């Protein structure tokens, strides 16, 4: 039997059982560790003293050990074995039911739409609408129902129900030593190679058809979904597997608590699979492997996959390692429940907690311009509670939350940690991956009035860390796609990147100019014109608009802009050398060196390197440079002078001082 199976029978947590057995000297690594009869007996005796009702019979152990561990094996088993397995499962379910402290309720009373209620109640939407009408409530299917109305409907349909855990915070915080500390939902990122079944898996879990809405059958953005499962609520990040979306996958890993690595049984480890493993390990999050498409291969294929995983340091627990490997069919649903159970158990062991009473902070997962809302972003907070009306900053963008929309498209008033939500109210379009932070109204006003956004942009440009923001307008969609692909290739080769704020079709209008002014962008047009009102607005807002009839001319111009913004590499060049002849210790001033300039010049802006023979004794910037007790900018060869160097106060007679200045490195073409 495994840790989590015994823990469930004893009605204790996995962590409690692992800690106890570890103290007793047993080698237990995770909730999937298999235990000997001796370990089971010791655990049973210890925990039975606390509660005499908690006992594991020998028949329980035998039945559990006889039960096939994986749905994959069950599918291949004989009818007789399946019949025996089913009876064992039923008996074990009865045991679990008897030992369960809190029986899951059919309904969680929380705000939901009429359509959502109908789906959970397995009733036609029209029937639910008529039920509401009989109660004097007129509600279309997308109307958000308050908790009292949901409770009333549950009573009408005679459903058992309970309130969400958030209304029982005092009970949950008994184990939390600090006020405001609460358990948060685990964030699970789904990784893997293109067409290995990541979105199909989430489709089955969410009972929706997300994949069919995506172009070409692949996910081309990072979606975040809150999912109700039989093992509790989980938050899933669906990440695209295509090679072009490597950066998006990286952002998903950075905010996740654990990863499901989807590997197709008929394909095994592929390039993006390797990349996903590397990113997850770098982020330090646990990996649960889901071997998908088992309905298309023979049972022996699973051993091949395990062998391939072991080559990349993911040793399956069946082979004595710590990596959980679950065979599934995302299309048929085989093994998915087992996968969710193990993910939930892994999350329980991580004991994820956060403070819900402090200002919200988290990450921007993706951002876009949405008609009627302007710049919006998908945000996942890691702590605190985000509310409508909160002021925030995200990278160089500021804003005030004007609306919150959850993953089901429902408007809500507040959201806690781990829950993905679409936020509107941004003054600018934030970058995916930016830190999102709620700030005070005073700080918001200070940042806005001080022009902190533009200052931050200029600062980043000076250090070569930012991009040139670009808005693209073309005549056709094919021109737009070709241009975007070409710009990406140029940007990849340049230290300064070109960030596409917006790409559209049609003439440049006033809205394009306003967006460019807000984001510090330039507008590049191909085969189009500028509307008259847009030209006036561009002059007023000092926005650059450049129109081209030939694509390569546009690309040449952009390449020149990127090169112009490229940081200049500076090198230290020796310009002079002097020998120390006298040393003066001046109180409250420092050590002043009297010197003779042997060659070159000494500049007031120079940096000094001090030598004693062949030994370097220090270096620093010139703080003061004087000749004949007068401050000067530079000293030439053949003259005596005095200087004070910050960081060098151990001068001796006959020490050497070399003077260096920073100069731009010359290009080969200039030499």
Report the pLDDT value the prediction gives residue 288, as an integer from 0 to 100: 92
The predicted-structure confidence for 159-217, as pLDDT tens digits, reads as follows 877 765 443 333 333 333 344 556 778 888 888 887 888 888 887 877 643 444 443 44
Report the pLDDT value the prediction gives residue 211, as an integer from 0 to 100: 41
- Closest by CA position to 276, among listed 192, 332, 364, 381: 192
Q: Which range among 30-39, 219-228, 659-668 has the greatest average pLDDT?
A: 30-39
Q: Once rounded to an integer, what is the mean pLDDT over residues 549-575? A: 78
CA 522 – CA 457 distance, rounded (Å): 14
Q: Once rounded to an integer, what is the mean pLDDT over residues 282-292? A: 87
- Closest by CA position to 224, among listed 192, 260, 188, 197: 188
- What's the mean per-residue pLDDT of the chain? 76
Is the pLDDT assigned to residue 102 strictly greater than 60?
A: no
What is the second-level CATH architecture of the domain 460-565? 3-Layer(aba) Sandwich (3.40)
Q: Which CATH code for domain 355-449?
A: 2.40.30.10
436 in Cβ contact with 362 (< 8 Å): yes
Is the pLDDT assigned to residue 667 strictly greater than 90?
A: no
| 3 state DSSP class of 98 | helix
Report the pLDDT value the prediction gives residue 78, as an integer from 0 to 100: 39
Identify the band that residue 602 occupies on the pLDDT scale cut at 50, 70 and 90.
very high
Is the pLDDT assigned to residue 584 strictly greater than 80?
A: yes
- Identify the residue with better confidence: 509 or 564: 509
24 in Cβ contact with 50 (< 8 Å): no
Report the pLDDT value the prediction gives residue 66, as an integer from 0 to 100: 41
Residues 6+ positions from 583 with CB-CB distance below 8 Å = 591, 592, 593, 594, 651, 652, 653
Report the pLDDT value the prediction gives residue 491, as an integer from 0 to 100: 81
CATH number of 185-351: 3.30.420.280, 3.40.50.300, 1.10.3720.10, 3.40.50.620?
3.40.50.300
Is the pLDDT assigned to residue 659 strictly greater than 90?
A: yes
CA 231 – CA 461 distance, rounded (Å): 48
- Secondary structure of 210-248 as H, E, C letters: CHHHCHHHCCCCCEEEEEEECCEEEEEEECCCCHHHHHH
Report the pLDDT value the prediction gives residue 74, as an integer from 0 to 100: 39
620 in Cβ contact with 645 (< 8 Å): yes
Report the pLDDT value the prediction gives residue 512, as an integer from 0 to 100: 86
Is the pLDDT assigned to residue 230 strictly greater than 80?
A: no
User: Are domains 185-351 and 460-565 of this chain identical in fold?
Assistant: yes
CA 292 – CA 326 distance, rounded (Å): 9
- Identify the residue with better confidence: 45 or 72: 45
414 in Cβ contact with 422 (< 8 Å): no
Is the pLDDT assigned to residue 670 strictly greater than 60?
A: no
CA 560 vs CA 243, 459, 605, 664: distances in Å: 28, 21, 32, 19
- Identify the residue with better confidence: 44 or 219: 44
Q: Which range among 239-243, 399-403, 551-555 has the greatest average pLDDT?
A: 399-403
The predicted-structure confidence for 511-539, as pLDDT tens digits, reads as follows 888 888 877 889 999 889 999 888 888 88
- Identify the residue with better confidence: 7 or 418: 418
Is the pLDDT assigned to residue 241 strictly greater than 60?
A: no
Residue 20 DSSP one-character state: H
The pTM (predicted TM-score) of the whole model is 0.47
CA 247 vs CA 241, 274, 275, 366, 504: distances in Å: 11, 15, 11, 11, 23
Which CATH fold topology does 570-668 show? Elongation Factor Tu (Ef-tu); domain 3 (2.40.30)
| Furthest C-alpha separation in the chain | 108
Q: Where are the domains of the chain?
A: 3-99, 107-159, 185-351, 355-449, 460-565, 570-668
Task: Kindly report which listed range (24-38, 158-172, 311-325, 556-570) carries the lowest average pLDDT score.
Answer: 158-172
Is the pLDDT assigned to residue 299 strictly greater than 60?
A: yes
The predicted-structure confidence for 141-172, as pLDDT tens digits, reads as follows 766 788 888 888 888 888 877 765 443 333 33
Is the pLDDT assigned to residue 268 strictly greater than 50?
A: yes
Report the pLDDT value the prediction gives residue 565, as an integer from 0 to 100: 57
Identify the band that residue 92 occupies on the pLDDT scale cut at 50, 70 and 90.
very low
């Amino acid at each position: 039997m495994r840790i989590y199976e015994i823990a469930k029978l004893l009605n204790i947590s996995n962590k409690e059982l692992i800690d106890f057995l570890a103290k007793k000297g047993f080698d237990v690594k995770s909730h999937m560790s298999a235990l000997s009869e001796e370990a089971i007996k010791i655990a049973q005796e210890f925990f039975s003293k606390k509660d005499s009702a908690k006992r594991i019979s020998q028949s329980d152990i035998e039945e559990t050990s006889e039960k096939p561990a994986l749905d994959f094996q069950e599918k291949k088993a004989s009818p007789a074995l399946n019949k025996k397995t089913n009876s064992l499962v039923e008996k074990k379910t009865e045991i679990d039911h008897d030992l369960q402290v809190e029986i899951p309720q059919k309904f969680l009373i929380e705000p939901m739409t009429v359509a959502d209620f109908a789906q959970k109640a397995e009733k036609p939407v029209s029937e639910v609408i008529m039920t509401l009408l009989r109660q004097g409530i007129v509600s279309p299917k997308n109307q958000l129902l308050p908790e009292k109305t949901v409770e009333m409907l549950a009573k009408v349909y005679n459903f058992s129900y309970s309130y969400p855990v958030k209304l029982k915070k005092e009970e949950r915080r008994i184990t939390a030593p600090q006020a405001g500390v609460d358990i948060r939902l685990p964030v699970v990122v789904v990784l893997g190679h293109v067409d290995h079944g990541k979105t199909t898996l989430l489709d089955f879990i969410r009972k929706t058809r997300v994949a069919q809405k995506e172009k070409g059958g692949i996910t081309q953005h990072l979606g975040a979904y809150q999912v109700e499962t039989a093992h509790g609520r989980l938050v899933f990040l669906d990440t695209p597997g295509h090679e072009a979306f490597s950066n998006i996958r990286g952002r998903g890993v950075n905010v996740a608590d654990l990863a499901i690595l989807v590997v197709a049984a008929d394909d095994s480890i592929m390039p993006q699979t390797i990349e996903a493993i590397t990113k997850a390990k770098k982020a330090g999050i646990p990996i649960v492997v889901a071997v998908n498409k088992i309905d298309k291969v023979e049972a022996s294929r699973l051993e091949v996959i395990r062998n391939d995983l072991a080559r990349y340091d993911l040793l399956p627990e069946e082979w004595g390692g710590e990596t959980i490997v679950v065979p599934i069919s995302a299309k048929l649903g085989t093994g998915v429940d087992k996968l969710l159970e193990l993910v939930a158990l892994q999350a329980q062991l991580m004991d994820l907690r956060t403070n819900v009473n402090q200002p919200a902070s988290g990450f921007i997962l993706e951002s876009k311009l949405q008609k009627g809302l302007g710049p919006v972003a998908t945000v996942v907070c890691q702590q605190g509670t985000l509310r409508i009306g909160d002021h925030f900053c995200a990278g160089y963008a500021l804003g005030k939350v004007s609306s919150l929309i959850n993953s089901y498209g429902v408007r809500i008033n507040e959201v806690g940690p781990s829950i993905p939500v679409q936020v509107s109210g941004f003054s600018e379009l934030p970058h995916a991956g930016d830190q999102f932070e709620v700030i005070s109204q005073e700080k918001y006003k200070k940042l806005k009035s001080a022009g902190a956004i533009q200052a931050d942009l200029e600062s980043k440009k000076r250090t070569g860390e930012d991009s040139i923001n670009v808005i693209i307008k073309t005549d056709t969609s094919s021109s737009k796609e070709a241009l975007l692909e070409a710009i990406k290739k140029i940007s990849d080769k340049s230290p300064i990147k070109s960030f596409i704020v917006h790409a559209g079709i049609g003439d440049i209008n006033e809205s394009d100019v306003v967006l460019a002014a807000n984001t510090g962008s330039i507008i590049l047009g191909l085969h189009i014109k500028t509307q008259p009102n847009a030209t006036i607005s561009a002059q007023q807002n000092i926005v650059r608009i450049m129109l081209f009839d030939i694509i390569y001319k546009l690309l040449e111009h952009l390449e020149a802009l990127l090169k112009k913004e490229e940081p200049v590499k500076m090198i230290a060049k020796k310009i002079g050398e002097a020998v120390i002849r006298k040393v003066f210790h001046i109180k409250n001033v420092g050590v002043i060196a009297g010197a003779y300039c042997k060659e070159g010049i000494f500049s007031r802006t120079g940096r000094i390197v001090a030598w004693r023979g062949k030994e370097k004794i220090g270096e620093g910037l010139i703080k003061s440079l004087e000749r004949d007790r007068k401050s000067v900018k530079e000293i030439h060869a053949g003259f005596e002078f005095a200087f004070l160097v910050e960081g060098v106060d151990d001068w001796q007679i006959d020490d050497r001082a070399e003077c260096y200045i920073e100069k731009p490195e010359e290009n080969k073409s200039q030499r």
